[in-house]
Structure 1
Amino acid sequence: MKNSNQILNIEKSVKSVVLLMLSLFTAITALNAQTNNNKTQKMTSFTDKGVQAPATNFIGTVWVNMNVKPEEGYNTNIGTVTFEPKARTNWHKHSSGQVLFVIEGIGYYQEKGKPIQLIQKGDVVKIRKNALHWHGASHGTMMRHIALVPEYDKDKTEWLQSVNDEEYNSYTTEKSVQTPVKITATAHKNHEELWPDYQSKAQETDPELIEVFDNFAFDEVINHDAMETKTRVLIIMASTIGSQALTEYKMFVNAALNTGISPVEIKEVLYQAVPYIGISKVIDFLNATNEIFTERNILLPLEGQSTTTPETRMEKGLAKQKEIVGERVDEMYKNAPKDLLHIQKYLSANCFGDYITRNGLDVKKREMVTLSFLIAMGGTESQIKGHIAGNAKVGNDRQVLINLMTQLIPYVGYPRTLNAITCLNEVLPAK
């Protein structure tokens, strides 16, 4: 009974700590937002990287931001630790134990004598007193956690030897033995091109699905045609916005940067989504992009790409619209009821004048990106037909569009792809 009560008390304490950390995180986030323009107020944030950790206790690039310090009057030590891919702590132990709250990314945790565990955003790691352990980022993804050491006045942290590459890489070896996934050499190569050394948690939990998907998407589908990697990544990334697939979008933003696509090109795809998908659906993708850029030390805002002014947006937008849509634009204006004529003007000045005339992407890629939005959204067959014609007018022929639709199959599914193919056969029938 005594042991049961002790366990119950520990569980209650942990729950209290979790609630405290969540409340603290929410409060700091709110305060930072509220005082964003007050540069004189000293604040701390869980999103600040802080200072680089000493190489004596860590391998790789690690940042530490001490959010709550004992000298501030608290008998605890709370810090945010950010690990770049492959970075990790040395083996160490705390006489008071430790609690880790993973708030971003994917990482590893291991206690001596036990297998490595995969940890990710939302996980809470409760480390026993004097347990010898290490923790850090996964092979291909950064990881950020909040580390809490209780009873700081009684704690003694002992740092020991580094975690060598053999120990660190044993996660991959162990998992490959336990859950073998038969990925073809071609699929592996194409996947590595986008995400070098990436360790998928889904491969651990759902190996059969990953085997089927990766071999199809990264071998069979990619080998259908010779589409350039950068173009393929851009259209798939665009489709994830149309599908409202934020998690997969973030994967492809990283893939874009890994394959040499510029931040400007990524932002232009995102900006162009606004007139087609709406800002209410795009804003979360904008925030996610900015977070990734910040993590990668890409300075914001990026250089402006606008080519129009309030005075020229209508004229230049109409010219761009005719370049893509053709002289049919004149018929659209002529046939528009008077009470809807303003919509035609919005299309010319706003959709084309404010967005499509921008630099950063050429018109052929912009039309492919737009078509990818529309296919992924579903229920847009009328607009798909219009932009199939638009693609053809700027030089993207039937085969280019077949290749586009083929590459999107694993990400948008067959029904929406087949609907797009029906539109293609109607607008640009096979010869």
Structure 2
Amino acid sequence: MVSFKEKGVAAPSSYFTGRVWVNMNINPEDGYNTMVGTVNFEAKSRTNWHSHTSGQILFVISGVGYYQEKGKSVQIIREGDVVKIPKNVVHWHGASHNCAMTHIAMVPELDKDKTEWLNPVSDKEYNKCSTQNEDININLTEKAIKNHEELWPGYESKAKQTDPELIEIFDNFAFDEVIKYGNLDTKTRVMMIMGSTIAQGALTEYKMFVNGALNVGVTPVEIKEILYQSVAYVGVAKVIDFIYAANEILKERGIELPVKGQSTTTPETRMEKGLALQKDIFGDMIDKMYEQSPKNQLHIQKYLSANCFGDYQTRTGLDAKTRELLTFSMLISMGGTESQVKGHILGNVKVGNDKETLLSVATQLLPYIGYPRTLNALKCLNEVIPE
């Protein structure tokens, strides 16, 4: 069985322009009177003009591409489209200018078919393939394109086709202008954004960043630890959907679940170890919290020690600096948590994250959380660590 996800073999340059790969899924020797192949086109790549005496059917499974019959205007084809090509009609098909495209091609009545390959589609012909729905007029900076490609090689969003002006504004801002600021490496930046999307309940964006994270070296264990830690701050009712989404992506990547466990406590030691970690990070503040807590609320302080810190923060898989940065990211993304934000600014400083690092995190999250929450975060930061 051949997977549609495999790239296949390079298509012959005598019949194709650009980089194209073909997977033959059904061949004549399989006993069917049809031929089926998955064809992956990089952006700007395409077939020559050609025809089939038996016709052809295309099933577009990803990306955006072009289809044109001789003497007719170009059609835009997208994921989910089915193109029914009549017998003996001269045509060509391929990827669009700025987006890769994959389709399944089927030739029926194979015993009667003859494919006639004709001239290549010239650059002049191809460049006439413009449409108001295409993204060729989007002016993305070279840096924005490079940073986007680092996370999602070859990916083009559907929003780019429907809302090109917004994508131009957002991508140039988030993937060029904002990234220029601060001292975060790519991996750390992506992990902070993942924590932020969980805190906001932004499942679609989270799934994008899980794929991006895996592409830049974030491990499955780290992905899971971000999720587990978020339970203490966001609540499992919101986090469970993100766990299921991450599981699906990890399975698609061939990663076996469950990942290796990272717990360092037992039911007998979680309170002791959690309280010790709290005091190590926050010092005398913890004793004061216990002393000042009303008796009928003391159980919440114990939960913080045993559950929030004992069950989650003592786990391996992420170091203390990353965990405190994640907590800061999630808290400023939730909004209305200024008291906790201030406490964890102090905690970040204690574990070695300085003001510049925290400011870098707030800056990188700005495109995803907006200005009000970012400004609230800066206010807390300046109160705890004055300029």
TM-score band, normalised by the shorter chain?
Answer: 0.7 to 0.9
Give the superposition deviation at 1:208. Answer: 2.0
Give the superposition deviation at 1:375. Answer: 1.3
Measured on the aligned residues, the alpha-carbon RMSD in Å equals 4.3
* Partner SS state of residue 268, structure 1: helix
The answer on 1:233 being equivalent to 2:190 is yes
Aligned to 1:321: 278
Aligned to 2:386: 429
Specify which of 226, 230, 235 is matched with residue 278 of structure 1. 235
Specify which of 60, 68, 76 is matched with residue 117 of structure 1. 76
Provide the rounded CA distance (Å) in 2 between the counterparts of 1:234 and 1:159: 50
Q: Which deviates further from its counterpart, 185-194 or 397-406?
A: 185-194
Structure with greater helix share of residues: 1
Provide the rounded CA distance (Å) in 1 between the counterparts of 2:315 and 2:128: 45
Q: Which deviates further from its counterpart, 124-133 or 341-350?
A: 124-133
Q: Which deviates further from its counterpart, 406-415 or 107-116?
A: 107-116
Give the superposition deviation at 1:344. Answer: 1.5
Provide the rounded CA distance (Å) in 2 between the counterparts of 1:349 and 1:83: 54
* Partner SS state of residue 82, structure 2: strand
Indicate how the Cα distance of structure 1 residues 356 and 108 shifts in structure 2: closer, same or farther if over 3 A, else same. Answer: farther
Provide the rounded CA distance (Å) in 2 between the counterparts of 1:311 and 1:94: 75
Aligned to 2:331: 374
Specify which of 279, 286, 295 is matched with residue 338 of structure 1. 295
Provide the rounded CA distance (Å) in 2 between the counterparts of 1:376 and 1:157: 59
Give the superposition deviation at 1:159. Answer: 7.2
Provide the rounded CA distance (Å) in 2 between the counterparts of 1:287 and 1:185: 35
Supply the AA of the counterpart residue of 1:224. Answer: Y
Aligned to 1:204: 161
The answer on 1:182 being equivalent to 2:133 is no
Provide the rounded CA distance (Å) in 2 between the counterparts of 1:354 and 1:277: 15
Give the superposition deviation at 1:153. Answer: 10
Supply the AA of the counterpart residue of 1:193. Answer: E
Provide the rounded CA distance (Å) in 2 between the counterparts of 1:180 and 1:406: 28
After TM superposition, list the pairs within 5 Å mapping 1:101-140 onto structure 2: 106=63, 108=65, 110=67, 112-113=69-70, 115=74, 117=76, 119-120=78-79, 123-125=80-82, 127=84, 130=87
Aligned to 1:25: none
After TM superposition, list the pairs within 5 Å mapping 1:35-114 onto structure 2: 60=21, 86=42, 100=59, 106=63, 108=65, 110=67, 112-113=69-70
Aligned to 2:203: 246
Indicate how the Cα distance of structure 1 residues 154 and 260 shifts in structure 2: closer, same or farther if over 3 A, else same. Answer: closer
Provide the rounded CA distance (Å) in 1 between the counterparts of 2:293 and 2:233: 20
Q: Which runs of 5+ in 1 are unaligned?
A: 1-47, 66-70, 72-76
Supply the AA of the counterpart residue of 2:78. Answer: I
Supply the AA of the counterpart residue of 1:392. Answer: V
Contact 1:320 1:352 (8 Å CA) reproduced: yes
Indicate how the Cα distance of structure 1 residues 246 and 64 shifts in structure 2: closer, same or farther if over 3 A, else same. Answer: farther
Specify which of 124, 140, 150 is matched with residue 193 of structure 1. 150
Provide the rounded CA distance (Å) in 2 between the counterparts of 1:289 and 1:329: 34
Contact 2:10 2:22 (8 Å CA) reproduced: no
Provide the rounded CA distance (Å) in 2 between the counterparts of 1:380 and 1:279: 18
Provide the rounded CA distance (Å) in 2 between the counterparts of 1:49 and 1:374: 42
Contact 2:187 2:217 (8 Å CA) reproduced: yes
Q: Per-residue displacement from partner, 1:145-170 (whole Å, max 9, x unpaired)?
A: 9x999xx99998887879x9999xx6
Aligned to 2:226: 269
Q: Per-residue displacement from partner, 1:273-294 (whole Å, max 9, x unpaired)?
A: 1111112211221122122212
Contact 1:137 1:143 (8 Å CA) reproduced: no
Indicate how the Cα distance of structure 1 residues 220 and 49 shifts in structure 2: closer, same or farther if over 3 A, else same. Answer: same
Aligned to 2:263: 306
* Partner SS state of residue 271, structure 1: helix
Give the superposition deviation at 1:93. Answer: 6.9
Q: Which runs of 5+ in 2 are unaligned?
A: 13-19, 27-31
Q: Per-residue displacement from partner, 1:175-215 (whole Å, max 9, x unpaired)?
A: 79974222222222222222223323333332222222222
* TM-score (norm. length: structure 2): 0.76
Provide the rounded CA distance (Å) in 1 between the counterparts of 2:24 and 2:84: 21
Indicate how the Cα distance of structure 1 residues 136 and 355 shifts in structure 2: closer, same or farther if over 3 A, else same. Answer: farther
Provide the rounded CA distance (Å) in 2 between the counterparts of 1:119 and 1:372: 36
Aligned to 2:310: 353
* Partner SS state of residue 218, structure 2: coil
